[in-house]
Structures are given as structure tokens and as C-alpha cells.
Amino acid sequence: MRLYGRDAEQSTIERLLQRARSGRSGVLVLRGEAGIGKSALLEVAEGAATDMRVLRGTGIERESGMPYAGLHLLLRKYLDRIDALPEGQARALRGALNLGTGDETRGDRFLVGLAVLTLLSDLAEERPLLCLIDDAHWLDPATAEALLFVARRLEAEAIVLLLAVRDPDAPEFTAEGLPELRVGALDKDAAADLLNARAAELPGHVQSEILVAAMGNPLALLELPTAHASAEPSTTYTRLQRTFADRVAALPEQTQLLVLMAAIDDQGDLSMILPAAERFGASVADLEPAERDRLVRTGEGRLEFRHPLIRTAVYGEATLSRRLSAHSALAEVYRAGGDRCHFAWHLASATTGLDEKTAAVLEETAELERDGGGHASVAAMYERAAMLSPDPGERGRRLSVAAKAAADAGMSEQAISLAERATADVTDPLARADLVLLRAGLADEQDRTKEAHRLLSGTAESVVGLNAQTAGYLFFQAGSAAANAGDFALLDRTAARAEELGVPNASLVRALARAFAGLNPGGHGDTADGVAALRELMGSRNDCLGPRDAVRTVMWHLMIGDLDGGLEAAAELERRYRREGALGLLSLVLMPLARLQLMLGHTRDALTTATEGMRIAADTGQHRIRIYQATTLAQLAAMQGDEQRCEELTTEALARGLPPSNVHAATARSLLDLGLGRHEASLNRLAGVVAGTSRAGVIAALPDLVEAAVRVGQPERAHEAARWHQDWAMQAGQPWARAIAARCAALLAPDDKAEALYEEAVHLHLQGGPPFEHARTELLYGEWLRRSRHRNEARGHLRTALEIFERLGADQWSERTRTELRAAGESLGDAIPDRSDVLALLTPQELQVVRLAAAGLSNREIGAQLFLSPRTVGYHLYKAYPKLGVASRNELSRLEPAKT
């Protein structure tokens, strides 16, 4: 089947089908106005895929509030395959589709997306798979999110996913990062050919009028001849809808009733629609007029509309009383069939005004859904129940439950909106405190930390007399929000207020304030007291830490320089969250994990972790985390002298000005300047950061400021920074931190004292810590020795520096070290950095896959941990083997890929 004027679009689709036949996936979002030919292109794709398995789904406006309704429709023929999925994924998908047995996974909605990805991949293993989604803009949000999660991870699964989206005149459908094709109007010749094929018998002047009115819209060209090209001014969308509405209105009354049943039900199941219609005297024979008029079609026990606009026209043409009657009839049929979910929804749709009895049915059904892990469904049902509740107290309670369920389902924006609405009806202060905790936690993740603090501290004050323990918890969380915002004065005031009110755990809020005051260079706190306070928080049982706060303790390890302890704690959390499939929490812990890996010289691991972390944070809407990970990658780019990438990765953090990412971004650019010899630029940038109000995370950059100041001959600008860093290093007690402090002192010391300080620094570096800093110390010491005419001794230190820089891929620093070696009398020729480590040839994702495969995990197990399909895991292994010079998984262990 070929369409008029659509050769380019059809060629694009055919290329995607061919890729799938060769084992590679493809995704395409088709955008365009109503009737422009998107549905026809999906039909063409299906017709060309005779050798493929085809799944079809449609977004339905009336069901867009019913979580996972679209997913159920898409997967309905293959629900029996769910049991073959990995256990956690199977539980999550059964819960989402209301197929539960009572033990389904609660919470992380991304497990549902991973389950869909694995299921589709399993189907594609048997035959290439084509998934067609029409009217994707009407998909319920949970289904849309699951499908977009899948789309962004399709790679080697032999799957084509086509999504048709109406634009404009429809809700926005955001598909960031996915390829799109805008389907435009037909050109003049193609439009004339189509109209002539459809209505050649019409007089020429009528055809001309239709061509002008249709404006190249294919569906208008097909339908307007029937309507005689109404001259009423309107958009193509409204004109088409009116045309379909007129055709529906011309159907017999019983036929209209049957198609209305199909229009308001997401299943299109004739075994449900016909019994409901029979209550009004309609029968299957009454479908014939609609079938003859090509408005509907039947097949596989389902009733479908030939175009999504017909469904809209059917619903719009029906009177309110007929809609209510149809919903009521369907509710009874679904109740008799034991489908509690559809019964509740249709019962609610058949209800006008406030109705406690219907609200109670929705609540009861929602609790049954909760047992199945369907948090999105719970949120939607409780919200609808709240809107039907006559009593304001019940309305507030139900909205509160809906908000918590939405948060559990990962629907942050909806959860915030529901919590705000609930606040107006919830009068109990402690219940309001729970809502505030929810709103504040979500606001903090979305970079609205000052708002989070305001909510938490205000609520803490209001509940002191009712529940002091809750007030203490709220004050600690408020203090944490102030710390996240980099507002240490606000944190101090929060601690003072907690002490003034005498709440339990006020000492922990004060410890938090002491820690950030003492570890903020130039602040009013004492460094020793700051480190001591942080150790108190880490060493004591902290009742103020919630379940999502485990990652905070990893950050505390970083703040006192305990890199090995932090890495161990972060890695344990990472393993746990991967096992649980908790993608939102995994994103949190990957943030400090990547930074720790980078500091400890595991550059390939850091690249892999931060890249994955950015991708997950983008999926989960955790913007603060995504930006933080970008600055970690920027630090790596700065080390390796990649100026363009460093600048790209730091632009957003610097523009948003949110600590500590803005500080990390500035220090990454300063390190780049330092490595490229732009010492004055580096000094000025760091001096600006140190003088600013938000200095969280600046301690690590103070040694760069010292070196830059010395390089430009302004050592007086570095003394205070060196003192701040030394105070921190001495209190932290980590040998590597003391080594850097000694290096800074050596840079500022007279020659008769510098050598001893450099020797001390080198000795301390040998006890562990960041290898990049070790190499910088060796380089600076070697330079000092060469200038002091100790060329033989200088060469040994410079060789050590060169070896480390080359291993880390720090090419700019390696070249600087070679220059020093030549000046010290060593002949290097045109040395090339050593890249003999074959693992360096792998991409970040290939490295992740290889490491897990070497540990003995199957493709399916690796996919579950990395949120990829098993087929894509196999594809990455296939690409990695020749790079590594191996032929099987058994040979991977000798490469020790975990030690990177």
C-alpha cells in the first residue's frame, strides 16, 4: 500500500523495518495535525511488516486518567509471558496491570518500564517486533512513561516503535531525546491526485473548493466530499470532527448506543460491550450500519474505530444522560465479570455530584490495588474518590493518600499537586506535617530547596506542642534542606530555633550546623569542631535520617576525606538498589559514587557511573542530581584536557548557580585552565568562588588556587587558602589530604624549607588516595628539583608523574611532564601515552556489561541491574569481545575488569 505524497515518510519507516530485520531497534515519533496521515502511516507500516509480530495500542481520551490502561491494551495478547520475566520485574508488571496475587512490588515505577522492555525483547527474540501506538498524546501518564523508558533503551532488540502524536489540538506529549518526523500537508499535486481518486465525479469548481478547504490534509480530502465542503470557517480539526459527528448522528439509535459503549471503554472487548448494550435492546446485528460506513471494524473479539477522531466524535455526539447510562451498564457488566477496577471507574463516571457511596467503592478498590502494587492506580482512584466526597475531612484524607501513592509511583509533579490540594481540607496538624514532609522532599529533589526549608521549618514550629519528636525530625530535615541550598546562615538559625524550643534531637540539628560551618572556608565555624560534628552524626544512631537519606552518609564520608570508606558505603548501596530495581534511589547513590571513583583514579568506572547516573536522573526528573553528575564528568574532562566537553558539561550548573554543583563546575573549569597553562584565568575564577556566598565543595579546589597564585607570581593571594586547606587536612587526618597540604606549603615556602615539605608530601601520597593529586605533587617536586639543578633526582619524580598521568588519560598533564623531563635531560622522542590496557578500548556501557559478565552474571541478570534488555546486553558483549581479544565469557575473568 502506497500513500499519495508520502514517499519520504514511507521510506523512513521502511528503513526502520529493515533495521529490525537485521537485529537493530528503531524509534520514531510521528507528529502532525488531526487527519494529516499519521494513522495511515501506521497502517502502511503494519502492512509492510508481514514477517513481523505486530502489537497495536491507542491512547483513549476517556481513559487517560486510568493508570496503565494503554499498556494493558498493548500487551493484552501476551500477558501469559509475564511469568517468564525476572521475578522482580514480573511482580511489578503484574501489579501495574492489576494481575496481582498479593505479593507484587510496590513503588519504583521504572521496574514496570524495565519489565515491558524485557517482555518486548523476549517477543523480538522469536520474530522482529513492530509496536504501533496511535494517539499517543491520550495515553495515560503511567503508560506513556513506561513506553518512553523503553524507547530510550532500545538498541539491539529487533524492535520498531512508532508513536503517532496529534499536534496541535491535543495534550502535549514530550518525547525528549527521541527521533521525530513531522508529517506535513500534501503538496498541491498529491492533494489533487488523492481527491480525484476519491471524488472524480464532483464538478471541477467543487473540487477546487475542497482543495482550498482541506489545505493538504488527506483525511479532509477523503471526508469533505461527503460533507460537500462546508464553507463555515473552522480549523481542519473541527471540520473533520463535525463531519464524523454528522455520520454518527445518521446511524440508527441502537447502533449509536453500541459505538458509544466502545467509545467510553478502553478495552473494546465485545464480550463486555454487547452484554451492556443488550440492557437497552441492542444486539450485535446493530453494528452493521457502522461497519458498512467504515466507522468501526471488528476482529479478535474487539471493536475498534477506524480513526481516533471517530471515537471523539461518537462521545461528543452522545447526550449526557446516554453517556451516564452507558457507563452504568458497563459498570454492572464488569462487576458481574469480577473486574473490580473497571467496575469502579465506570461507576464513578456514571455518578454526578457528590456521592459517598461511590467514593467508598473507589477507596475499597484502591486498597485492593495497593495489595497488587499498583500505586499509580491507587493515586488515581483516591483522587477521584476525594472529588466525590461530600465531607471535607474525608476529601482531605483521600487526597493525602492519593499524594503519597503518587509519590510512591514516582509521579512527583502529581504528588505535589495532590498534597497542596489536600492541605486545604486537612485540619489535624500532624497529618498536615506528613503532607509537608512529602511536598518538601519532592521540592528538594527538584532544586527548590529554599521552598523545602520554609515548609519544613514552619510546620516544625506548628507541631512542637503536639508532638515534639516529630518537630525534631522536621527541624533536622529543614536544616538539611538549608545545607543543600548552601545557606549555612539559615542552617544555623534553624539549629538555634530547634534548641530554643527544646525539641528532641536538637543536638543533631546543631551538629549539622557545626559541620557545615566548620567545613565552609571563610565561615564563622571552627574546622576541628566541624569535623568532630560530622563524625558525631556518622557515629551515632540518627533518628532524624529517613529511608531516603542513606546516601547523605556517603556524602559525609566525602566531606571528611574518607574516600575508601565512602566508596565502600556507596558501592553497597548501589548493589542494594540495583537488586531492588529502585532506579530513583540508584540515581541518588551514583552521584557520590562517581565522584569517589574519579578521586580514587578509577576513571573508566567514574565515566561509566556518571554517564549512567545522568541518564537515569534525566528519566526520573532529578535535575539536581543530573547536573551534579555532569560536573563530575566535567572534572574528568578537565583532567584529560578536553576543553569543549568540559565547557559543555558545566554551562547549566554555572547558569543555575545551585551549590555544590556550581562550585564543582567552576573548579572543573579552573583545573582545565591550570592544565592548559592559563594560570591567571584559573586564579581569578577560583578567587571568585572563594569570595562568594555559596562555597559548598570548595575545599577540594583550594590547592588549585594555591598553585595558580604561585604560577602568576602572586603567592600572597594563596596563603589564606592554604591555611584553610591545611586546617581541614589536619582534622580529617587522611594521609592523602595531609600530602596535598604539605605540597601547598612547599609551593609557598622558601627554598631551604620546600624540599622537606615536598618529601613529606610524596611519602604521604604513597599511603593511598587520589593518584591524580599524587602525580601533581611528583610533577611539582620534579620541577622544583630541576630548577634547583638536581636534574637526576628530578627525573625520578617526573617519571612517576608521567606514568600516573598516562594511566589516567590526563594527556595535557602528561605533555607538560614530558616537557619537564626533556628539560631535565631525558630523551623521550615522540612518546605516545600508553594505551596497552585493553579495557580502555571499551565504551562506558560495554565496560559495565563486561564487568558483570566476568562476575558470572547472565545477560538477563545484567539487564536487570543496568536497566537494559538482555538482547542489548548481548550486543554490547558482542562488540566488546574483539576489542578485548577474547571469544567467550569464560575468558573475561583473566582481564580482571572489576579492577578499574
Phi, psi of 299 (to 5 degrees): 175, 140
Confidence class of residue 106 from pLDDT cuts 50, 70 and 90?
very low
Buried b (16+ CB within 10 A) or exposed e, 308-336: bbbbbbbbebbeeeebebbbbbbbbbbbe
pLDDT on residue 227? 59
Give SS3 for 161: strand
Q: What is the pLDDT of residues 343-367, one digit of tens each?
A: 999 999 999 999 999 999 999 988 8
Among 169, 197, 231, the domain-final residue is 231
Handedness of CA 337, 342, 343, 347 (dihedral sign): negative
Say if 718 falls within a structural domain. Answer: no
Mean pLDDT of the chain: 88
Q: What is the mean pLDDT of residues 232-239?
A: 62
Say if 236 falls within a structural domain. Answer: no
Instruction: Give the other-Cβ count within 10 Å of 171's Cβ.
Output: 14
pLDDT on residue 198? 80
Number of domains in the chain: 5
For β-strands 296-299 and 302-305, DSSP reports them as antiparallel
CATH of the domain at 75: 3.40.50
Q: Alpha carbon 223 to chain centroid distance?
A: 42
The cell numbers describing 892, all together, are: 573475561
Claim to verify: residue 199 and residue 138 sit in the same structural domain: no
Claim to verify: residue 131 and residue 40 sit in the same structural domain: yes
Cα–Cα separations (whole angstroms), residue 200 to 195, 204, 226: 7, 9, 13
Claim to verify: residue 334 and residue 470 sit in the same structural domain: no
**Identity of the residue numbered 35:** G
Q: What is the mean pLDDT of residues 685-703?
A: 85
pLDDT on residue 51? 95
The cell numbers describing 540, all together, are: 551515632
Say if 242 falls within a structural domain. Answer: no
**Which range (306-320, 412-426, 882-896) has the least confidence?**
882-896
Claim to verify: residue 148 and residue 192 sit in the same structural domain: no
Q: Residue 296 carries which DSSP code?
A: E
Say if 786 falls within a structural domain. Answer: no
Give SS3 for 850: helix
Claim to verify: residue 144 and residue 214 sit in the same structural domain: no
Sheet holding 159-166, edge to edge: 53-58, 129-134, 159-166, 26-32, 180-182
Among 530, 545, 560, the domain-final residue is 545
Task: Flag whether pLDDT at 631 surpasses 90.
Answer: yes
HEC states along 795-839? HHHHHHHHHHHHHHCCHHHHHHHHHHHHHCCCCCCCCCCCCCCHH
Buried b (16+ CB within 10 A) or exposed e, 520-543: bbebebebebbbbbbbbbbeeebe
Claim to verify: residue 324 and residue 377 sit in the same structural domain: yes
Among 545, 578, 596, the domain-final residue is 545
pLDDT on residue 829? 58
For β-strands 26-32 and 180-182, DSSP reports them as parallel
| DSSP letter for each residue of 214-245 | HTT-HHHHHHHHHHT---S---HHHHHHHHHH
Q: CA end-to-end span of the chain, whole Å?
A: 54
Is the separation of the CB atoms in 584 and 110 below 8 Å? yes
pLDDT on residue 522? 67
| DSSP letter for each residue of 333-379 | HHHHTT-HHHHHHHHHHT--S--HHHHHHHHHHHHHHHHTT-HHHHH
- Number of helices (H), then strands (E), belonging to the chain: the values are 44, 7
Say if 796 falls within a structural domain. Answer: no
Claim to verify: residue 40 and residue 157 sit in the same structural domain: yes
More confident residue, 246 or 66: 246
Claim to verify: residue 46 and residue 158 sit in the same structural domain: yes
**Domain of 843, in residue numbers:** 839-895
Q: What is the pLDDT of residues 431-490, one digit of tens each?
A: 889 899 888 888 877 778 889 999 999 999 999 999 998 999 999 999 999 988 888 889
Claim to verify: residue 532 and residue 484 sit in the same structural domain: yes
Claim to verify: residue 276 and residue 381 sit in the same structural domain: yes
CATH of the domain at 454: 1.25.40
Q: What is the pLDDT of residues 817-863, one digit of tens each?
A: 999 999 988 877 544 444 446 667 888 888 889 888 888 889 988 88
Claim to verify: residue 167 and residue 214 sit in the same structural domain: no
Say if 312 falls within a structural domain. Answer: yes
